[in-house]
Amino acid sequence: MNRKSPLSVALCALATTPALAAAQEITARPATADACLAISSNAQRLACYDAALGYVAPSPQEADLAADAAERATVVAADAAGEDERARELFQRDLDPDTRATIANAGRGSLLDSRWELAKDSKLGIFQLRAYKPVYVLPGFWTSRTNATPTSPNPNNTVATPERLDSIEAKFQLSFKTKVAEDLFGDNGDVWVGYTQSSRWQAYSSETSRPFRETNYEPEVMLVFRNNYSLFGWKGRMTGISLNHQSNGRSDPFSRSWNRVILNLGMDRENWAFMLRPWHRIEESARDDNNPDIEDYIGRADALLVYSRNGHELSLTARHSLRGGDRAHGSLQFDWGFPINNLLRGHVQVFDGYGESMIDYNHKATYVGIGFALLEWF
Active site residues: 245, 247
Q: CA 323, 246, 141, 250 torsion: positive or negative?
A: positive
Whole-angstrom CA distances from 88 to 79, 80, 98 are 7, 9, 19
> Pick from 302, 240, 314: which is nearest to 273 by CA?
314
Phi, psi of 9 (to 5 degrees): -65, -45
Whether 277 contacts 302, CB under 8 Å: yes
Angle between helices 85-93 and 60-81 (to 10 degrees): 140
Whether 369 contacts 138, CB under 8 Å: yes
Q: Exposed (0-12), middle (13-18) or buried (19+): which is 152, by Cβ within 10 Å? A: buried
Q: Are strands 272-281 and 301-309 parallel, antiparallel or unpaired?
A: antiparallel
Q: CA 69, 75, 77, 79 torsion: positive or negative?
A: negative
d(CA 218, CA 199): 12
CB crowding 235-266: b at 16 or more within 10 Å, else e: bbbbebebebebbbebeebbbbbbebebebbb
257 pairs with which residues across the strands?
247
Whether 123 contacts 117, CB under 8 Å: yes
Query: Which H helix or E strand runs over 167?
Result: none
d(CA 66, CA 176): 32
